[in-house]
Amino acid sequence: MSSPSECLAQILAEGRFHAIRSLGEECAAELHTHAKERYLALEATIPRLRRSMSRRIFELGPPVLAIYQALHHDLGVDREPALRLAEEMLHAFHRKQLHRSALDGIAMDMMFRLRPARNLLMRSLFAEEPDGFRFEQADDAGALMAFDVRACPLVSFARRHNAPEIVAMICRLDDLKPSARRGVELRRTGTLGTGAERCDFRYVAAKK
């Protein structure tokens, strides 16, 4: 598991092509500097989550916010182009992570196919953590796994820094992960990050 600061360095590196294409060489270099400065200013406000799973889910929030703040406030990029470029950089990083994490994908494939492994994961989700993610089991007989997220520290963190608009791009990464898994689809109607009252995760067997 990477730290948020390591994620920032990786997103800046993997997203450099997109930054140069949109901003030019000089401004892309300035983005690198300003994003690191913004991250250092945010670091003290990062919640100290105890559970490794919570930290892993949260880890992209601070670097994405730092990049967005650097684009929007330091470089003067308008809101929508700043969000679009930040998401392009995030996707470049995410694609590289999926490529590097082939073994993780195999492990997740096995977990979805084995009921004891699914049950173990579900139990770990529901462990209590103040100010962390709050999961609730959902009833859906047709799903391999079904749960809702009722509280999200990513949303709280972004709102605290007056940038709730960044969370949606992190939510959208979830839609990319199951596509790499054989035979499993994620069905979801909304997320807290996009203004819904819950994130409804339903992992189902894919139709052949």
**For residue range 66-80, what is the model confidence (pLDDT) as tens digits?**
999 999 999 999 999
Nearest to 199 by CA among 152, 156, 164, 167: 152
The domain segmentation of the chain, as residue ranges, is: 4-100, 114-205
**For residue range 106-124, what is the model confidence (pLDDT) as tens digits?**
566 666 666 676 676 767 7
Nearest to 161 by CA among 54, 7, 43, 49: 43
**Antiparallel, parallel or unpaired: β 184-187 and 145-151:** unpaired
pTM > 0.85: yes
**For residue range 52-62, what is the model confidence (pLDDT) as tens digits?**
888 888 999 99
β partners of residue 135: 149
CA distance 39 to 154: 15
CB neighbours (10 Å) of residue 208?
4
Give me 184's structure tokens: 């499993």
> Given the structure tokens 């308008």, which residue do they identify?
78
CA 56, 178, 84, 134 dihedral sign is: negative
